[in-house]
Amino acid sequence: MQIPIEDFYEDVLAKTAKGLGFSASSLAERAGLDRDAVREALRGNFVEEEARKLAPVLSLDSDALVLLGQSIWRPQVVELDGLALFNSAFADMTVNAFVVWDPSTREAAIFDSGADASELITFVQNESLKVKGVWVTHTHRDHIEDIPAIVRAFDCPVYVGEKELANFGTSFPAGKQFSIGSLSIESRLTWGHARGGITYVVSGLEKPIAVVGDALFAQSMGGGMVSFKDALETSGQEIMTLPDETVICTGHGPMSSVGEEKKVNPFFAGKF
């Protein structure tokens, strides 16, 4: 069963309005809408005419925002030899972790842990994979909660982007390259949601992979907990410019692809 979409219409409206500094009243004034209508939209009441008025004020793509509001789109299911997704519950949400491996050498990289890595650990053991490390997208608790269990199971190093200022693991600068068997891992700084968020671009499988953490979701993005402007800019520059066939491994929600997000993501459609 495919993981549900992480963000709804109201989530995209709310995080964008907050990031751009709009109140419901100021957003209503700019969009030429009744203030109560905007408040209802922020609660999830979707009206296409209103969405098309709100989108340009929020610098969102109108057609993509309407598609999100209609709740009818889902990304294509990803089946790729050398990639496995693990989804675990954390508070009132679920969070993803990934294993990527070279099918020839069985050397593997783990990306984040999620809240509970037990299923991931069992998978790695059953598949006789050789874990070379855990690579952290960012240090928000839901993504690193069970890293100690992975380290205990595989006695492997943990790598964290240096701008996250973590008190664990081995820090590295964005841009550093790693290798796992015949696979190459490029690290890209995609910050704004987190202080030092990293996207890992993995090459060498049938399709390239981008493990993005919360920099991007299917039809949405993680939002600017540190800087909305930089979250938007770095995700666009470092993720949306990748080849269309690139699989996007998101921190929450289903996997997607760069080509799909160029068409359906309100933040990026029509801009790349």
Task: Note whether 161 and 128 are within 8 A (CB).
Answer: no
Give the per-residue pLDDT at 106. Answer: 98
Mean pLDDT of 116-143: 98
Secondary structure string (H, E, C) spanning 201-212: EEECCCCCEEEE
| Distances in whole angstroms, Cα of residue 38 to Cα of each of 56, 57, 219 | 14, 12, 21
Q: What distance in Å separates the CA atoms of residue 184 and residue 170, rounded to the nearest whole number?
A: 19
pLDDT score of 92 more than 80: yes
For the domain 83-264, what is the CATH superfamily, name and number?
Answer: Ribonuclease Z/Hydroxyacylglutathione hydrolase-like (3.60.15.10)
Give the per-residue pLDDT at 109. Answer: 98
The per-residue pLDDT for range 160-202, each reduced to its tens digit, is 999 999 999 999 999 999 999 999 999 999 999 999 999 999 9
The per-residue pLDDT for range 248-264, each reduced to its tens digit, is 999 999 999 999 999 99
Q: What distance in Å separates the CA atoms of residue 263 and residue 202, rounded to the nearest whole number?
A: 23
Mean pLDDT of 137-150: 98
Mean pLDDT of 135-155: 98
Q: What distance in Å separates the CA atoms of residue 267 and residue 174, rounded to the nearest whole number?
A: 24
The per-residue pLDDT for range 194-249, each reduced to its tens digit, is 999 999 999 999 999 999 999 999 999 998 999 999 999 999 999 999 999 999 99
| Distances in whole angstroms, Cα of residue 231 to Cα of each of 125, 145, 196, 221, 240 | 36, 23, 11, 8, 13
Give the per-residue pLDDT at 137. Answer: 98
The predicted model scores a pTM of 0.97
For 44: left if phi > 0, alpha if psi spans -120 to 50, otherwise beta; the answer is left
Residue range(s) of every CATH 3.60.15.10 domain in the chain: 83-264
Give the per-residue pLDDT at 1. Answer: 63
| Distances in whole angstroms, Cα of residue 77 to Cα of each of 52, 64, 254 | 29, 20, 8
The per-residue pLDDT for range 122-132, each reduced to its tens digit, is 999 999 999 99
131 strand-pairing partners? 108
The per-residue pLDDT for range 56-78, each reduced to its tens digit, is 999 999 999 999 999 999 999 99
pLDDT score of 118 more than 90: yes
The per-residue pLDDT for range 8-31, each reduced to its tens digit, is 999 999 999 999 999 999 999 999
State the residue for tokens 């209503």.
28
Residue range(s) of every CATH 1.10.260.40 domain in the chain: 9-70
Element (H or E) spanning 12, and its range?
Answer: helix 9-20
Give the per-residue pLDDT at 223. Answer: 87
Two structure tokens written together for 154: 């595989």
Q: What is the CATH number of domain 9-70?
A: 1.10.260.40
Q: How is 144-203 classified by DSSP, letter by letter? A: HTTHHHHHHHH---EEEEGGG--SSSEEE-TT-EEEETTEEEEEEE--SSSTT-EEEEEE
Task: Note whether 149 and 121 are within 8 A (CB).
Answer: yes
